[in-house]
A = this chain, B = another copy of it.
């Protein structure tokens, strides 16, 4: 499966090299250690009253690592549910996340206060960069299987930049509180992705329909992603809240919101799915909606009681979205949302916020730029297929052919 238009031999290396060199130069010019990471600043400050054990590293880094696992393992494996798109799900997730966190360091530093013309970085900026990256990966979920890595890198440039602007408006200008980033991360990422998916609408996508589904072991790989997102969501929501009771409370509220959400997701899945059987898509996604929903208010004295109600409702809404809203989105609004990010990140996030409208036009622009034919997007006939961009072991291609043969026979039977 090779085609001149999807060939990445020059497009991907050139894009990566140019972006990375620009980033390195900007880091050289603009970026400095903050007082927690700079030897001189830390020891000057330390001289007076602080000990080395007071370094913020010890109070943020474990949360940072949990968030980091969510970004690379959580999002990466959540998307491996597709039968022939596992390399791309994990591998493109890896690439665009590694890029986005660097670009986010620059954009967030630029918009959230330079110090004497310099961006100061430490563990807190690393968490913020990972958060912004999360937003890009949510959008990736909406366009999964239909985009080339070059398109994804471009999308990341636009989205990270816009994310920093949006975050600045929501948090600094409007003064809103959004500890777990329901508004700035999830809702933003979901609707950005949906708008891009709309602009990239493919009327003939059903030609790739047989690949847009899971196989047994691909669903188990996806559960690795789901569970890491679920387990570490308390760390995500509490990672940059104020130290002390705030951080403690946020983590606990999220823990109970997720637990309640899991029960309502399973209930709704059995209720709505075929023959009363549970649907892996619901379990992999809806059970996480409680984390999104608890994101904005998690820091407050919400009480576990309040958190559980929020999570309970989020699970119900999310399953209903997968069941009834996603087909409508595709047929009426022409939005092909591969991972159903609208149901996991969009609606649960919207429970908390709706400041996004003014940014829509910019998103549309991004989508149209991505649509230019020069970025090597796959044709409709071979979406959701690793072998366009990856070397796939040979016997598997054979296996794929077998599957195709079986399916072709079935198709012939149906059409005869």
Contacts and interface: CB of A to CB of B under 8 A. Distances in A.
B249 A37 contact: yes
Contacts of A395: 215, 403, 406-407
A276 B52 contact: no
Contact of A13 (B37, B52, B215, B270): B270
A100 to B, nearest CB: 9
A279 B122 CA distance: 34
Contacts of A392: 216
A338 to B, nearest CB: 16
Could you say how many copies of this chain the assembly holds? 3
A101 to B, nearest CB: 6
A290 to B, nearest CB: 10
A115 interface: no
Interface stretch (A85-93, A139-147, A164-172, A343-351): A85-93
A59 to B, nearest CB: 6
B123 A227 contact: no
A283 interface: yes
A397 to B, nearest CB: 9
A66 interface: yes
Contacts of A243: 52-53, 55
Nearest to A401: B410
A372 interface: no
Contacts of A271: 9-10, 13
A38 interface: yes
Contacts of A268: 13
Given A52-B244, A277-B389, A279-B391, 11 more contacts: A7-B276, A9-B276, A20-B312, A23-B308, A31-B305, A57-B248, A62-B62, A83-B393, A101-B255, A216-B399, A277-B391
13 contacts: A2-B275, A7-B276, A8-B276, A11-B276, A16-B264, A20-B312, A33-B304, A55-B248, A69-B231, A95-B263, A220-B221, A277-B387, A278-B390
Interface of A: 2, 7-17, 19-20, 23-24, 27-28, 31-33, 36-39, 41-43, 46, 51-59, 61-62, 65-66, 68-69, 72-73, 76-77, 80, 83, 86-87, 90-91, 94-95, 98-99, 101-102, 121-123, 126, 149, 213-217, 219-221, 223-224, 227-228, 230-232, 235, 242-249, 251-252, 255-256, 258-260, 262-264, 266-268, 270-271, 273-280, 283, 287, 301, 303-305, 308-309, 312, 387-396, 398-399, 403, 406-407, 410
